[in-house]
Each structure stands twice: as C-alpha cells, then as structure tokens.
Structure 1
Amino acid sequence: MEATLRTPQTADYEAIASWVVDKKACARWAGPLVPFPFSSENLPELLEVEGCASYCLVDSNNQCVGFGQFWMTDHGAVHIGRIIVSPEARGVGAGRLLCERLMDKALRSTGAHMVTLRVYRDNHTARSLYSSLGFVVVNSESTGDILFMRAMPDKARKADA
C-alpha cells in the first residue's frame, strides 16, 4: 500500500466520522469526553488536546484511510492515540503504515525517545500490531480494561545497526 501522512482536511473529518458507527465505538476510539453522535464539523474541536498534532494517512488518491494523534506527556514521552483506520483499509497494512509514520513524525518533531499508547485488552488485532512495532505492556500503568504500552524506537534502531 502506498500512503503518506498529512494534516487533516475537512473531507477527512467527514470520512473519519463515517467510520465511528455507535456510542461504544466512539468511546473506545476517542474517549469518554467525545459525545456520540457528533458532527464532522465539530470533530476537530472535540479531538483537541493541548499540544496535540493530528494526522491522516492518505492513499495514492489522496483519500484518508487512517487517522491518529500525538502529544507530549509529563514524563518526556510522546503519546500516540485515537488511532483509527477506514473499515475498507483494514487488514492490508494501513494500520501498520499509520503507526510507523505517526511514530516517526512524533519522535522527529518532539525529540522524545519513548512512545506510549493505550489499547483495550480485548483489541487483539491492535495489541498484536503494537507488539510487532516494539511496544511492551507496562503493567503498573495498565487497568482492568486498558493496557498501557511503551516503545523505545531509538534503542531498537541502535540495536539493529
């Protein structure tokens, strides 16, 4: 799959809104503060986090096939979140591309050396992807429903060299 990362445009938010089909899906993707239903026009404001950067993964036709955000944490790590992939693009590597490109962009633009994320324990597909990208579970930061994970990509790159 050929794809690039870029900042979201109005049409992208319309596409993203169409991927979130019910209240449960909304809460699992965007968190409890984003109401469902929501309008695509309000989505940029609803997804706003202080110091946050939002990006879309777009295909060769410039169509949004994925979305994610990142922001710095109090611990000097960069946190990625609100990862979502178009239903039509699932299972063909779009999630991996989105995460790889988002992590690279996050590390380069923030200078952080660690990336963190949260994932629902029962989201086995995402957990498998994140593990394959070098994320490990931090049990002390996890809850009954949600795993906190971290990766140190710089160390992994140095070990491969």
Structure 2
Amino acid sequence: MQTALRTPEKADYKAIVAWISDKKACSRWAGPSVPFPFAAANLPELLAVEGCSSYCLSDSDNRCVGFGQFWPGKQGAVHIGRIIVSPEVRGSGAGRLLCEKLIAKAREATGASTVTLRVYRDNPAARSLYSSLGFSVIESESTDDLLFISTTVNRSRKAGA
C-alpha cells in the first residue's frame, strides 16, 4: 500500500466522522471530552491538545485512510494518540504504516527518543501491533481499562522507513 503522512484537510474530517459509529466508539477513540455526535467542522477544535500535531495517512489517491496525533508527553517523551484507521482498510497493514510514520514524524518534530501511548486492554489487535513495534506496558501508569505503554526508539533506526 502506497501511503503518505500529511496534514488533515476539511474532507478528511468528514471521512473520520463516518468511521465513528456511536458514543462508545467516540469515547474510546477520542476520550470522554469529545461529545457524540459531532460535526466534522468541529473536529479540529474538539481534538485540540496543547502542543498537538494531527496527521492523516493518505492512500495513493490522496484519500484519508488513517488519522493520529502526537503531543508532548511526560518527562520529555512524545505521546501519540487518537489513532484510527478507516474500516475499509483495517487488516491491510494501514495501522502499522500509520504508527510507523507517526512515530517517525513525532520524533523528528520533538527530538524525543521515548514514545508513549495508551491502549485499551480489550483491544488485542492494537496491543499486538504496538508490541510488535517495541512498546512495553508500564503497569504503574496503567488503569483497569487502559494500558500505558512506552518504547524508546534507537536514534540510529529510522522508524517508518
């Protein structure tokens, strides 16, 4: 799959809205502060986090097939979140490509060598992906529902290459 990571456009937010089917899916993806339903035009503001950068994974036709963000994390780390892939491409490796490219972009933008994220304990597909990307669970930062995971990216390794 030929993909690129780019800044989201207005049409991308319309696509993302279609991927969120209900209140529970919205909360699991964006957190409890984002109301459901929401208008695509309001999504950039609803997803705003201080220091946050948002990106779309686009396919060879420039269609948004994935979305993710990163922002400054604890102790100099960069935190990635709100990762979502279009239902049409799930299982095709798009999630891996999105994560690899997002991690590389986050490291490039911030200089951080540590990347963190949260994943639901009951999401085995995402947990498997993150584990294969080198993330490890930090139980002391985790909750009953969410795992806090972290990886230290070797500066000589090119993530997403």
TM-score range, shorter chain: over 0.9
Aligned residues: 158
Q: Which residue of 2 aligns with 1:112?
A: 112
Q: Once the 2 structures are TM-superposed, how far is the Cα of residue 157 of structure 1 from its aligned partner?
A: 3.3
Q: Percent identity?
A: 69
Q: Which residue of 2 aligns with 1:77?
A: 77
Structure 2 CA distance, aligned partners of 1:100 and 1:74? 21
Cα shift readout 1:107-132 (whole Å, capped 9, x = no counterpart): 01100010000000000000000000
Q: Which runs of 5 or more residues in structure 2 are unaligned?
A: none
Equivalent AA in structure 1 for residue 119 of structure 2: V
Q: Which contiguous aligned blocks of 4+ residues in structure 1 show a shift greater than 2 angstroms? A: 155-158
RMSD: 1.2
Structure 2 CA distance, aligned partners of 1:137 and 1:23? 27
Where 2:76 maps in the other structure, the secondary structure is coil
Equivalent AA in structure 2 for residue 11 of structure 1: A
User: Once structures 1 and 2 are overlaid, which stretch shifts more, 73-82 or 94-103?
Assistant: 73-82
TM-score by length of 1: 0.96
Structure 1 CA distance, aligned partners of 2:73 and 2:62? 31
TM-score by length of 2: 0.96
Structure 1 CA distance, aligned partners of 2:132 and 2:59? 23
Q: Which runs of 5 or more residues in structure 1 are unaligned?
A: none
1:43 aligns with 2:43: yes
Q: Once the 2 structures are TM-superposed, how far is the Cα of residue 156 of structure 1 from its aligned partner?
A: 8.2
User: Once structures 1 and 2 are overlaid, which stretch shifts more, 148-157 or 99-108?
Assistant: 148-157
Q: Which residue of 2 aligns with 1:68?
A: 68
Structure 1 CA distance, aligned partners of 2:60 and 2:38? 28
Q: Which residue of 2 aligns with 1:153?
A: 153
